[in-house]
Amino acid sequence: MSLLSAQRVVVIDVETTGFDPASDVLLEVAVVALEGEDICESWATLVRPSRAIPLGATAVHGIDTVMVAEAPEPKRVAADLRRRCGTSMLAFHHARFDLAFLAPLLRDAGEPPLWNPVIDTLGLARGLPGFSGHSLPELAARLRLPRERAHRALGDARTTARLLVQLATRWEERRGVASLAELAALSQDALRLPARREAAGEDGGGGRDIPDRATLRLDLFGSPAEGGNAMQTTAAVPEIGQMAPEFRLKGPGGQFFTLTEYRGRKNVVLAFFPLAFSPVCSHQLPALEKQMSRFRNLDAEVLGISVDSHFANDAFAKHLGLSFPLLSDFEREASAAYGVLVADKGHSGRALFAVDRQGRIVHRDVSPAPGDPAQIPDHEKVLRALESLR
**Average pLDDT along the chain:** 86
Closest CA to 9 of 112, 78, 82, 85: 85
- Does the domain made of 248-387 have the CATH classification 2.60.40.1260? no
Q: Can you tell me the distance from the alpha carbon of 304 to that of 285, in angstroms, rounded to the nearest whole number?
A: 8
Integer-rounded Cα radius of gyration of the chain: 23
pLDDT tens by residue, 104-135: 999 999 998 887 888 999 999 998 988 888 99
Half-sphere exposure of 85 (CA within 13 A, CB side): 25
Determine the Cα–Cα distance for residues 343 and 327; give it in Å rounded to an integer. 19
- Among 97, 98, 119, smallest CA distance to 3 is for 119
pLDDT, residue 345, reads 73
Cα–Cα distance for residue pair 300/62, rounded to 1 Å: 58
Q: Above 70 in pLDDT, residue 5?
A: yes
| 235 pLDDT tier (thresholds 50, 70, 90) | low
Mention the CATH class of domain 3-210: alpha beta
Please determine, for residue 8, whether its predicted confidence score (pLDDT) is greater than 60: yes
Q: What's the pLDDT score for residue 180?
A: 85
Residue-wise pLDDT tens digits, 167-211: 999 999 887 887 888 888 888 777 765 444 444 444 433 444 444
**Is 40 tagged catalytic?**
no
The Cα 369–Cα 274 span in angstroms is 11
The ranges assigned to domains in the chain are 3-210, 248-387
* CB within 8 Å of 199: residues ≥ 6 apart: none
Task: Check: CB of residue 184 under 8 Å from CB of residue 315.
Answer: yes
What are the E-state strand segments in the chain? 9-16, 26-35, 38-46, 89-92, 118-120, 248-250, 256-258, 267-272, 300-306, 326-328, 341-342, 347-348, 351-355, 361-366
Q: Note the pLDDT of residue 360.
A: 97
**AA letter at 337:** A
Considering the candidates 180, 210, 281, 340, report the single residue annotated as catalytic.
281
Closest CA to 362 of 209, 206, 242, 236: 242
